[in-house]
């Protein structure tokens, strides 16, 4: 694996970007030509830039390299590499300027006290405000961002012909799809993806917005048409310190600098507080959505609410009715099992409707959106001969509990779970995962996830200790010590026509981390091959 976060995104650049005079940018964004050791300053008058880059491993000819002060290092240390790759000028802070002058004599340097804050708006200007040509949505929240953003991808594709996606799983514009290094990429990378989308006539963009990104200015310079919020749960408190700070970070997305309107799930107290704040500020319109009907039998002060959620065993979908503030009654089907996905689906529908998509277009597209990489991804669907085979990302005890309960509802026979747990991460969750699976699944296949520097056997032992607490005789519990792929194949082998096998923990992830090595591996193709070997092609 490379140290360069954005190398994979190198192809995601517009083919044509009319150059912008550097002097125009200097004026518009209060950039100061840096003073050299000889007391002079670099002239920027004759220079033009045709792009903006943020990582020295991802620079194209003619670009302005933004050398940002980081948590680990300073981008100025990599300016020489960026210039060798074609950068024609460097934007940095005053501290970085000295290093750039020393390492890249002759390259013009501009400074700004906070280059990270200016990088987004500047990139939007250099790429000629590409978001204005697209219908744009962004989803934030602790859980459900990826799922909701793929629901929106399907809906916006139906409405606009094509949609770009930027989130945890992939960066995709038209035919180009690459692995994503971040949930939300740095602003210059996002802006140039939007520029490529606009150039290719892609009509929409579905984005995930992490709270880190909001705080670290990765979304600055972009105003999306509709921003949505799923929920807030305990997470990332190393970065945000308290839940209130975590909410405050997310709340910044719902201001006129970032969004034209807001759609907020108010199923938890944090969503309710957020909706209240947005409404009180009066700056952008806000719709509230309540998906969990056990909390309210009716509208109860919410604008949109869900009733009659019911699971179907035959096609694994959950049907529900969405009620709107103008008396709308919309019959919909969420293609993924589980109530949490009804929340994601209701949010996506309301966001789409507020973005101008006709409700019936949105409902029809949503019903087909079950092929989300690693999120309840159905590799095989029950049809009388074959069983249901699923790849999912659940890797915490809470997520595992939700996932297994959801899948139980679509399983007339046995529920088989193939799982492991990470090495070099939270050791406490290993027995808890074992206990949850022993309690909620019928057959357990225990395997490795990312052992990293740890002995895989000791991780499996800790899981099995939790399994024993709920199932002392270890009935229907198998341990696969060879290779994760063998465990996935074993799960499929055990799966009968009434059964479901679910492999959890890795979802879309393309690597296994074993010792110091990243080994290319993904559960979905292995499961697909096992399904084909067992049942052949579907009729
Ligand atoms: C806290 C945080 O977000 N840090 C990110 C930030 O790091 P940093 O500013 O400290 O950068 P640094 O490594 O010190 O480097 C400084 C500058 O030098 C540049 N550089 C560095 C090395 C090099 O060879 N060449 C080069 O040009 C870097 O691009 C950077 O601009 O900028 C780096 C380059 O873009 C990111 O890789 C790094 O993400 C780290 C690895 C990370 O773990 N981020 C996580 C916390 C994150 O952002 N997560 C959220 C999702 C959270 C969730 O919901 O689960 C996300 O949006 O992905
Ligand atoms: N609305 C929801 N509420 C609670 N949990 C959810 C919700 N949607 C999904 N989940 C759970 O969270 C896990 C991750 O879902 P998803 O990838 O859509 O969320 P995310 O916010 O993108 O998280 P991540 O950044 O970890 O990918 C799923 O495996 C599922 O168990």
Query: Is residue 490, in this structure, part of any structural domain at all?
Result: yes
Ligand 1 pocket: which of 54, 81, 212 to mutate (most atoms within 8 A of CB): 212
Residues 405 and 285 in one domain: no
The answer to whether residue 479 is domain-embedded is yes
Domain residues for the domain of 203 are 130-367
Could you tell me the two tokens for 56?
Answer: 């020295």
- The Å distance, Cα 439 to ligand 1 centre, comes to 39
Looking at the fold, whether 56 and 139 belong to one and the same domain comes out as: no
Find out whether 168 and 183 touch, Cβ atoms under 8 Å. Answer: yes
Please give the Cα distance from 521 to 485 (Å, whole number): 9
Same domain, 112 and 166: no
N residues, the chain: 539
Do 52 and 82 form a contact (C-beta atoms < 8 A)?
no
Pairing of strands 259-265, 286-290: parallel
Is 359 in the same domain as 225?
yes
% of the chain at pLDDT higher than 90: 85
11 assigned to some structural domain? no
Q: What is the mean pLDDT of residues 213-227?
A: 97
| CATH assignment at residue 313 | 3.40.1190.10
Q: How many domains does the chain have?
A: 3
Examine the pLDDT at 114 and tell me if it is beyond 50: yes
269 C-alpha to ligand 2 centroid (Å): 18
The bound ligand whose nearest atom lies closest to the alpha carbon of 115 is 1
Nearest-CA residue for ligand 1 atom 6 is 70
Distance from the CA of 61 to the center of ligand 1, in angstroms?
A: 23
Q: Order the strands of the 52-53 sheet from edge to edge.
A: 32-33, 109-111, 89-92, 64-66, 52-53
Same domain, 488 and 397: yes
- Measured from the alpha carbon of residue 151, the closest ligand is 2
Nearest bound ligand to the CA of residue 182: 1
Are residues 163 and 206 in contact, defined by beta-carbon separation less than 8 angstroms? yes
Q: Are residues 190 and 235 in the same domain?
A: yes
Q: Please indicate, yes or no, if residue 8 is contained in any of the structural domains.
A: no
Contact 262, 228 (CB under 8 A): yes
Give the closest residue (by CA) to ligand 1 atom 47.
Answer: 212
Query: Is there a single domain that holds both residue 65 and residue 99?
Result: yes
In a domain, 1, yes or no: no
Q: Taking residues 29-54, report their average pLDDT.
A: 86
* Angle at CA of residue 302, ends 301 and 303, nearest 5°: 120
CA dihedral 10, 14, 17, 21 (to 10 degrees): -30
In this predicted model, which residue has the larger pLDDT, 301 or 235? 301
- Residues 134, 103: one domain? no
In a domain, 12, yes or no: no
Last residue of a domain, one of 367, 398, 421: 367
For the CA of 208, the nearest atom of ligand 1 = 57
Q: Place 302 in a pLDDT band, splitting at 50, 70 and 90.
A: confident
Last residue of a domain, one of 107, 126, 145: 126
At residue 241, the pLDDT reads: 73
- Give the ligand 2 atom nearest the CA of 507: 29
Cβ of 92 closer than 6 Å to ligand 2, yes or no, is no
The answer to whether the predicted template modeling score (pTM) of the entire model surpasses 0.90 is: yes
Asked if residue 447 belongs to a known ligand binding site, the reply is no
pLDDT digits (tens, 9 = 90+) for 248-296: 989 999 999 999 999 999 999 999 999 999 999 999 999 999 998 655 5
Residues 299 and 156 in one domain: yes
208 lines ligand 1 (CB under 6 A): no
Q: Longest Cα pair distance anywhere in the chain, in angstroms? A: 81
Do 183 and 332 lie in a common domain?
A: yes
Task: Say whether both 210 and 105 belong to one domain.
Answer: no
In a domain, 528, yes or no: yes
CATH number at residue 31: 3.40.1390.10
Ligand 2 contact via 147 beta carbon (within 6 Å): yes
Whether 13 is in a domain gets the answer: no
The verdict on whether residue 99 carries a ligand-binding annotation is: no
CATH number at residue 442: 3.90.190.20
Pair 176, 205 in one domain: yes
Give the domain-ending residue among 367, 398, 413: 367
- Residue 184 among known ligand-binding residues: yes
- The pair of structure tokens assigned to 69 is 């002060």
How confident is the model at residue 532, as a pLDDT?
Answer: 97
Each residue's pLDDT tens digit, 12-23: 999 999 999 999
């Amino acid at each position: 694996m490379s140290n360069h976060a954005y190398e994979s995104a190198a192809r995601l650049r517009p083919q044509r970007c009319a150059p912008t005079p550097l002097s125009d940018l200097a004026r518009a964004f209060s950039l100061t030509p840096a003073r050299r050791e000889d007391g002079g300053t670099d002239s920027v008058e004759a220079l033009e830039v045709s792009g903006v880059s943020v990582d020295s491993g991802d620079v194209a000819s003619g670009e302005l390299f933004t050398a940002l002060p980081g948590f680990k290092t300073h981008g100025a240390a990599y300016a020489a590499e960026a210039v060798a790759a074609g950068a024609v000028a460097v934007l940095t802070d005053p501290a970085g300027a000295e290093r750039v002058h020393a390492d890249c004599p002759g390259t013009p340097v501009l400074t700004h006290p906070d280059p990270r804050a200016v990088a987004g708006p500047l990139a939007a200007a250099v790429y000629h405000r590409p978001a204005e040509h697209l219908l744009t949505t962004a989803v934030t929240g602790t859980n459900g961002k990826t799922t909701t953003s793929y629901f929106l991808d399907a809906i916006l594709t139906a409405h606009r012909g094509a949609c770009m996606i930027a989130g945890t799983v992939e960066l995709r514009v038209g035919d180009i799809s690459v692995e994503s290094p971040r949930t939300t990429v740095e602003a210059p990378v996002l802006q140039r993806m939007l520029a490529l989308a606009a150039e290719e006539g892609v009509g929409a963009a579905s984005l995930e917005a992490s709270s880190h990104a909001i705080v670290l200015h990765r979304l600055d310079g972009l105003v999306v048409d509709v921003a949505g919020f799923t929920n807030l749960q305990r997470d990332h408190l190393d970065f945000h310190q308290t839940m209130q700070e975590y909410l405050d970070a997310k709340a910044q997305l719902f201001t006129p600098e970032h969004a034209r309107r807001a759609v907020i799930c108010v199923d938890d107290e944090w969503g309710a507080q957020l909706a209240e704040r947005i409404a009180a500020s009066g700056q952008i319109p806000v719709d509230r959505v309540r998906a969990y009907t056990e909390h309210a039998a009716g509208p109860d002060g919410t604008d949109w609410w869900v009733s009659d959620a019911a699971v179907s065993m035959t096609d694994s979908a959950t049907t529900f009715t969405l009620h709107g503030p103008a008396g709308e009654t919309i019959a919909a089907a969420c293609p993924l099992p589980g109530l949490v996905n009804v929340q994601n689906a209701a949010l996506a529908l309301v966001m789409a409707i507020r973005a101008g998509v006709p409700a019936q277009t949105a409902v029809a597209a949503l019903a087909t959106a079950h092929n989300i990489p690693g999120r309840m991804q159905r590799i095989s669907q029950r049809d009388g001969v074959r069983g249901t085979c699923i790849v999912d990302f659940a890797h915490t005890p809470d997520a595992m509990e939700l996932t297994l309960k959801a899948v139980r509802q679509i399983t007339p026979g046995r529920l088989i779970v193939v799982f492991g747990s990470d090495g070099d991460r939270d050791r406490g969750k290993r027995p808890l995962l074992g206990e949850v699976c022993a309690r909620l699944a019928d057959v357990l296949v225990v395997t490795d996830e990312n052992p990293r520097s740890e002995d895989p056997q000791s991780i499996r032992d800790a899981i099995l200790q939790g399994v024993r607490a709920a199932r002392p005789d270890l009935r229907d519990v198998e341990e696969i010590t060879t290779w994760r792929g063998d465990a996935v194949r074993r799960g499929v082998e055990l799966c009968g026509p009434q059964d479901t096998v679910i492999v959890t923990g890795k979802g879309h992830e393309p690597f296994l981390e074993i010792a110091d090595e990243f080994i290319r591996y993904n559960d979905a193709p292995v499961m697909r091959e096992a399904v084909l070997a067992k049942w052949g092609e579907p009729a």
